[in-house]
């Protein structure tokens, strides 16, 4: 075999590997890990056992990747219509549905085994529940049928904090449920601005996102309400988990900033001005990241 043929084979293998990675939606998983890791610090009231820590993060990563891969298999018809998703591997033909299905099931089995053996059986059960919820409840049942799809479907994205807590403690205590509720309330305020940006895409794919069905003003109102609810939920963690001054300052300061961004989105929608929806979308990512970093830092401080 010639050197050129070797390079060609390596290039094909690299492209195939990139396609499999793309199936997992790695940028989405990054945010899930940002929420799971600080939760584990809070659950352990310090640094968790290293084996448990690594196993829970690896298992959680693989579990989320499996759910995202199943989602791409089911939604490949929608992805082919929407400009934002036309580069996904099942649309471009980089992978076949059969290859993606085998990959998704493999990730499901491996993630469950890793969590059950090296973390805790409850974390493994929650991982399976998260995959099932995302695939059957959100992707198959809600996404194409209701404007509230992201509200209830977003529950799947709340599971990493429960998995992280269960991996460390083997239980589900009130702080874990408060963090679960925080992500539940944050998700619509995070995702609906994105749906405003890609409203035409969702309309073309016949997906009834709120921005398609109700319009910009309604989206703006809803984002404001959910941003306020997210702020209130972060404050509940202070008395329940005994959070300190670092968390208090960050939760309140970042929360007020996020609420202000949400109000700005609504005001611009009412005036008929450019919504600048992606500004709020990126602000929501920064907000949640700051809150969870504050959870970890506050837990590790000696005072």
| Amino acid 1: pLDDT | 53
Q: Domain 184-303 falls in which CATH fold? A: 1.20.120
149-168 pLDDT, tens digit each:
999 988 999 999 999 999 99
| C-alpha atoms less than 13 angstroms from C-alpha of 97 in its C-beta half-sphere | 6
Q: What is the DSSP string of 261-282?
A: HHHHHHHHHHHT----HHHHHH
Contact in structure between 251 and 235 (CB atoms under 8 Å):
yes
Count of Cβ atoms closer than 10 Å to residue 24 Cβ: 21
214-226 pLDDT, tens digit each:
888 999 999 999 9
Q: How confident is the model at residue 14 (pLDDT cuts 50, 70, 90)?
A: confident
Q: Give residue limits of the domains in the chain.
A: 12-172, 184-303
CATH class name, domain 12-172: mainly alpha
236-264 pLDDT, tens digit each:
999 999 999 999 999 999 999 999 999 99
Contact in structure between 35 and 292 (CB atoms under 8 Å):
yes
257-276 pLDDT, tens digit each:
999 999 999 999 888 888 88
Distance (Å, rounded) from C-alpha 99 to C-alpha 90? Answer: 10
Q: Does pTM top 0.85 for this prediction? A: yes
Mean pLDDT for the stretch of residues 193-211: 91
Q: Helix, strand, coil shares of the chain as percentages rounded to 5?
A: 85, 0, 15
Given a cut of 60, is residue 3 above it in pLDDT? no
All residues at 6 or more sequence positions from 54 whose CB lies less than 8 Å from its CB, including other chains: 118
| Amino acid 273: pLDDT | 81
Q: What's the mean per-residue pLDDT of the chain?
A: 93
Is it true that 12-172 and 184-303 share their CATH fold?
Answer: no
| Amino acid 29: pLDDT | 79
Query: Which two structure tokens, joined as six digits, stand for 80?
Result: 């082919």
């Amino acid at each position: 075999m010639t050197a050129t043929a070797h390079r060609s084979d390596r290039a094909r293998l690299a492209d195939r590997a990139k396609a499999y990675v793309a199936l997992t939606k790695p940028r989405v998983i990054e945010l899930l890990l940002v929420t799971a890791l600080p939760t584990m610090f809070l659950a352990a009231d310090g640094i968790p056992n290293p084996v448990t820590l690594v196993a829970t993060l690896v298992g959680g990563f693989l579990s989320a990747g499996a759910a995202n891969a199943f989602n791409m298999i089911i939604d490949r018809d929608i992805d082919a219509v929407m400009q934002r998703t036309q580069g996904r591997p099942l649309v471009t033909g980089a992978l076949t549905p059969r290859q993606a299905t085998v990959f998704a099931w493999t990730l499901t089995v491996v993630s469950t085994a890793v969590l059950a053996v090296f973390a805790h059986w409850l974390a493994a059960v929650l991982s399976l529940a998260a995959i099932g919820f995302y695939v059957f409840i959100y992707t198959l049942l809600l996404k194409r049928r209701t404007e509230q799809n992201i509200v209830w479907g977003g529950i799947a994205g709340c599971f990493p904090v429960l998995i992280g807590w269960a991996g460390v403690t083997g239980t589900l205590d009130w702080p874990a449920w408060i963090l679960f509720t925080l992500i539940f309330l944050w998700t619509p305020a995070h995702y609906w601005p994105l749906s405003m940006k890609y409203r035409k895409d969702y309309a073309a794919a016949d997906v009834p996102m709120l921005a398609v069905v109700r319009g910009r003003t309604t989206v703006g109102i809803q984002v404001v309400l959910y941003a306020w609810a997210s702020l209130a939920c972060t404050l509940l963690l202070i008395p329940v988990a005994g959070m300190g001054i670092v968390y208090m300052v960050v939760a309140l300061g970042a929360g007020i900033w996020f609420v202000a961004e949400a109000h700005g989105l609504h005001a611009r929608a009412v005036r008929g001005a450019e919504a600048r929806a992606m500004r709020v979308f990126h602000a929501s990512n920064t907000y949640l990241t700051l809150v969870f970093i504050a959870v970890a830092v506050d837990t590790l401080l000696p005072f």
